A and B are shown apart, each in its own frame.
Chain A
Amino acid sequence: MGLGIGLALADSSVVTLALPDILRQFDVEIPQVAWVLTAYNLGLALAAVPAAYAARRRPRAAYAAGTIVFAAASLVCGLAPSFGVLVGARSVQALGGALLVCAALDLLTAIDGSDARAVRTWATAGVVGAALGPAAGGILTETLGWESIFLVQAPLALLTVVALVGLQARPVRGPAGRPHIPANLALLLISGALTAALFLLVLLLVDGWRINPAVAGVIVTVLPAAAIATGRVAHRFGGSRTRAASGAVLIAGGLGALGVLPGSDWLWTVAPQVLVGAGLGLSLSALTERALEGRSPQAVHGGWTIAARHAGVVIGLLLLTPVFTTALDRNEDRALRAGAAAVLDSSIPPLEKLGLAQDVLAIVRASDREVPDVREAFVDRPDDEAYRSLQATLVSELDRAVTAAFSRPFLLAALLALAALIPIAWSRGKVSV
């Protein structure tokens, strides 16, 4: 059942590394392709609470129905003939995912025999799924194509229905009570900030620095590894409020560092990823536990945490994507002038300069809100030292411009993580900081 929860929550970020391929296949732009993520997260945010209310009456049937819808929609995503069908299927997939995840919380209580243990298992499966998503998606994209992400998860999700065999879960009755607003608000802000780490970092590596998606998938495993490692020792950091606050600060620090990267090399992203991963391991499970603490029925409050987390992802995407694309446009113009100067001052044959400068310009213009690849301008040109050196200069100029374009959204995301400290401080309970 943990696999089912992990799959459904990993789906909020699993296609991140596949976005450049999807963008090219369907010939769409960055703001549009972000809807492959937005549709799923928006669907989860809107459906989670109603799904939780539905699941509390018949959790077994709700889990089975949710899993079947999720798996069927995954198949449609994998075989989608157009971008519209893909986004539509992602919305349906989210409905199934919401039902599956919320019903699982009540079923885990029946399996574990303890509310607290069920919450821990449920929260951990969610954190691991969300953190591992980009890496798994990247490796699948590179080895089998982006469609395989969806085609592989359909049978895996259906496999988890086996867990229902022989399982007795009583329907949950009685009023649900009010959600824990501060914990859910903090979850929303932290999730918005994490969007930057999972979505923008992958875009920076694959589209910005042109790193192979499979390699990028390996690079971003630093983040889930740090999350899992920290999660194992999280209890040593104190109560849920201290863990949540420490996690928010670490996420803000990691995102702040990503906003001021000193160079265009993936190694610079390792330390920030460790901080973001550690913060993720500390804060998400702590806030989820806090939101569910002493609240019954749990599925409904679990639904609220899912709604808060995925609303945060949607807000993060809607807020950060335009900031990024605007900064990219501005920096590209400045880099283009510097690149033209490099061409005119280079040692390539003089009569080639004007043509090359204009070919580079055409590539940048044609990229239209994507990160251009100026290496294309050199494909049909001589492979000698003068051209190689000029190409390296242009690529470096563009790399620096692109890296700087990511700066503002990362810093904005760091502010979102810091803002989560307000509801964390506001949340009731003994002061532990």
Chain B
Amino acid sequence: MKAVAFVASCVVAVALVATYVALGGTSYEPTPVANPCAPRPHREATGNDERLELVVLAAADAAACRLGVSREELVLALRSVDELDQLAAKEGKSRDELEQALRDGLVRAVGQAQGEDLIGDTTAGALRFAAEHLPLGLLLDVLRRASSILG
């Protein structure tokens, strides 16, 4: 009886843990984040907002690919210049490298969107001018409030 009680306890304990493991209990993985360098599935854009979104996300993808970070990390860092500096420091890049990647990414995304007739020539010109000439802080502000450009 004594040995049986101990062995039964061991069996019950192992059985519960094994059942939970079999049901996927050890397999925590966050939802995977897409590779910014890989092409994303084509999305239709109907309104101005959605067109701008596609341009900004394509720009973020291009810049993130060049910097070797995820698009999501870069987008979260767009909150302010300080956050961008923190991201640059974390990735071992200089502020200039990060800024240039953002500007080049936007210019490239604008060209792509213009080629696909997502945006008109005037909008493309304004965005390209902003990407090439505006100070970084102002450029981030423009990206955040860009609806007026399209509106």
| Contact indicator B76/A349 (Cβ below 8 Å) | no
Choose among A250, A256, A336, A341 the residue that contacts B9 (Cβ–Cβ < 8 A): A250
Choose among B21, B23, B34 the residue that contacts A341 (Cβ–Cβ < 8 A): B34
| Contact indicator B13/A256 (Cβ below 8 Å) | yes
| Contact indicator B31/A341 (Cβ below 8 Å) | yes
For the complex, give the distance between the alpha carbons of A349 and B57 in Å. Answer: 14
Query: Which residues 29-71 of B have a CB within 8 angstroms of A?
Result: 30-34, 49-50, 52-53, 56-57, 70-71
| Contact indicator A238/B1 (Cβ below 8 Å) | yes
Which residues of chain B are within 8 angstroms of A84 by Cβ–Cβ distance?
Answer: none
In the complex, what residue of chain B is closest to A353 when comparing beta carbons?
A: B53
| Contact indicator A246/B75 (Cβ below 8 Å) | no
Q: Which applies to chain B's interface (DSSP): helix, strand, loop or mixed?
A: helix
Determine how close the nearest CB of chain A comes to the CB of B1; give it in whole angstroms: 6
| Contact indicator A397/B30 (Cβ below 8 Å) | yes
Determine how close the nearest CB of chain B comes to the CB of A201; give it in whole angstroms: 15
In the complex, what residue of chain A is closest to B74 when comparing beta carbons?
A: A340
The reply to whether the CB of A337 lies closer than 8 angstroms to some CB of chain B is: yes
| Contact indicator A361/B76 (Cβ below 8 Å) | yes
Choose among B26, B33, B144 the residue that contacts A337 (Cβ–Cβ < 8 A): B33
For the complex, give the distance between the alpha carbons of A407 and B29 in Å. Answer: 13
The reply to whether the CB of A351 lies closer than 8 angstroms to some CB of chain B is: yes
The reply to whether the CB of A344 lies closer than 8 angstroms to some CB of chain B is: yes
| Contact indicator A256/B1 (Cβ below 8 Å) | no
Choose among B10, B28, B50, B57 the residue that contacts A407 (Cβ–Cβ < 8 A): B28
The reply to whether the CB of A159 lies closer than 8 angstroms to some CB of chain B is: no
In the complex, what residue of chain B is closest to A262 when comparing beta carbons?
A: B23
| Contact indicator B2/A239 (Cβ below 8 Å) | yes
Which residues of chain B are within 8 angstroms of A290 by Cβ–Cβ distance?
Answer: none
The reply to whether the CB of B100 lies closer than 8 angstroms to some CB of chain A is: no
| Contact indicator B49/A253 (Cβ below 8 Å) | no
Choose among A238, A239, A257 the residue that contacts B20 (Cβ–Cβ < 8 A): A257
User: Which range contains the number of A residues in contact with the other chain?
Assistant: 35 or more
In the complex, what residue of chain B is closest to A396 when comparing beta carbons?
A: B31
For the complex, give the distance between the alpha carbons of A404 and B7 in Å. Answer: 30
| Contact indicator A237/B5 (Cβ below 8 Å) | yes
Asked, given contacts A249-B13, A400-B28, whether A354 binds B75 with beta carbons under 8 Å apart, the answer is yes
Determine how close the nearest CB of chain A comes to the CB of B20; give it in whole angstroms: 5
The proximity string for A residues 382-422 relative to B, scoring 1 for CB distances below 8 Å and 0 otherwise, is: 00000000000000010011011001000000000000000
In the complex, what residue of chain A is closest to B23 when comparing beta carbons?
A: A262
| Contact indicator A400/B16 (Cβ below 8 Å) | no
In the complex, what residue of chain A is closest to B16 when comparing beta carbons?
A: A257
Query: Which residues 53-71 of A have a CB within 8 angstroms of B?
Result: none
Choose among B12, B14, B20, B147 the residue that contacts A261 (Cβ–Cβ < 8 A): B20
| Contact indicator B30/A334 (Cβ below 8 Å) | yes
The reply to whether the CB of B79 lies closer than 8 angstroms to some CB of chain A is: yes
Most chain B beta carbons < 10 A, residue from A245, A252, A256, A353: A256
Which residues of chain B are within 8 angstroms of A239 by Cβ–Cβ distance?
Answer: 2
The reply to whether the CB of B17 lies closer than 8 angstroms to some CB of chain A is: yes
Which residues of chain B are within 8 angstroms of A357 by Cβ–Cβ distance?
Answer: 72, 75-76
| Contact indicator B21/A260 (Cβ below 8 Å) | yes
For the complex, give the distance between the alpha carbons of A242 and B6 in Å. Answer: 7
Which residues of chain B are within 8 angstroms of A250 by Cβ–Cβ distance?
Answer: 9, 12-13
The reply to whether the CB of B78 lies closer than 8 angstroms to some CB of chain A is: yes
Choose among B12, B26, B72 the residue that contacts A340 (Cβ–Cβ < 8 A): B72
Query: Which residues 237-288 of A have a CB within 8 angstroms of B?
Result: 237-239, 242-243, 245-247, 249-250, 252-254, 256-257, 260-262, 268, 271-272, 275, 279
The reply to whether the CB of A358 lies closer than 8 angstroms to some CB of chain B is: yes
For the complex, give the distance between the alpha carbons of A78 and B29 in Å. Answer: 42
14 contacts between A and B (CB under 8 A): A237-B5, A238-B5, A249-B10, A254-B13, A260-B25, A262-B20, A275-B12, A337-B72, A341-B33, A341-B72, A344-B71, A351-B52, A351-B147, A404-B28
- Which residues of A approach B to under 8 Å, CB–CB? 236-239, 242-243, 245-247, 249-250, 252-254, 256-257, 260-262, 268, 271-272, 275, 279, 331, 334-338, 340-342, 344, 349-351, 353-355, 357-358, 361, 397, 400-401, 403-404, 407, 432-433
For the complex of A and B, the 9 pairs showing the least CB-CB separation, nearest first, are A253-B13, A350-B53, A260-B25, A404-B28, A238-B2, A340-B72, A262-B23, A338-B30, A246-B9
